[in-house]
Every structure is written in structure tokens, then in C-alpha cells.
Amino acid sequence: MAIIVDFGKCLHCGGCVGSCPQNAIYMNDYILEFNDNCNSCKRCVKLCPVAALRME
């Protein structure tokens, strides 16, 4: 299972970064990166204001 980012939807707001309990997301202006600490809790998927994240 991994988080997939739809960059056509993402507004690069960083909301997912601040909401991730594992601190597994890093955003450098326009790129969202997930590291191995992601435990698939889906918090970011649920919170994203524009549904730019999904889990596959």
C-alpha cells in the first residue's frame, strides 16, 4: 500500500505534512514526498481538501 499523489489536484498547501503522525511527508514547494515511515493510516487521504491523495 502506498499513497499516490494526484498533482493535477494538489494545491501544495502542506496540510497533509502537518497532519501526518509519522512525519512521513515532505513538501518542497511543489513536490510531495512520502518516506518509509508512512504506516498507511490514511489521515492525509481523509483530510485533503481537494482529494489529491489516495491509497493504492
Partner 1 sequence: MCEALPCGGIEDGVISVKTYNCDIVIVGAGPGGSMAAKFCAQAGLDTILIEKKAEVGAPLRCAEGVSKSWLSEVGIEPDRSWIAADMVGAVIKSPAGHEFRMDGRKTGEEIGYVLERHLFDKALARDAADAGAKIMMRTGCTGVIREGGKLVGIKANSMGEPIEIRAKCVVAADGYESQVARWAGVKTVPKMGDINSCIQYRMTNIDVEQEWCEFILGNDIAPGGYLWIFPKGNRSANVGIGIRGDRCNVPAAAKYYLDKWIAEDDRLNKGQILEVASGMVSTCPGLDSAIYDNLVLVGDAARIIDPITGGGICHACRTGMYAGKVLAECNEKNDFSKEALKPYERMWRNRMDDKIVRNWMAKEKMNSIEDKQMDEIIDILSDYDLKQLDVFGILKAIKDKFPDLVEEFADLI
**Out of 7, 40, 49, 55, which residue is the one contacting partner 1 (CB under 8 A)?**
49
d(CA 14, CA 46): 14
CB-based contact 19:47 (threshold 8 Å): yes
Count Cβ atoms below 10 Å from residue 53 Cβ, excluding itself.
Answer: 22
Q: How far is the CB of 7 from partner 1 (least distance, A)?
A: 14
Identity of the residue, 20 or 38, whose beta carbon is nearer to partner 1 in the bound complex: 20
Count Cβ atoms below 10 Å from residue 36 Cβ, excluding itself.
Answer: 7
Taking CB under 8 A as the rule, which mask of x and - marks residues 6-25 in contact with partner 1? Answer: -----xxxxx-xxxxx-x--
List of residues contacting partner 1 (CB under 8 A): 11-15, 17-21, 23, 26-29, 43, 46-51
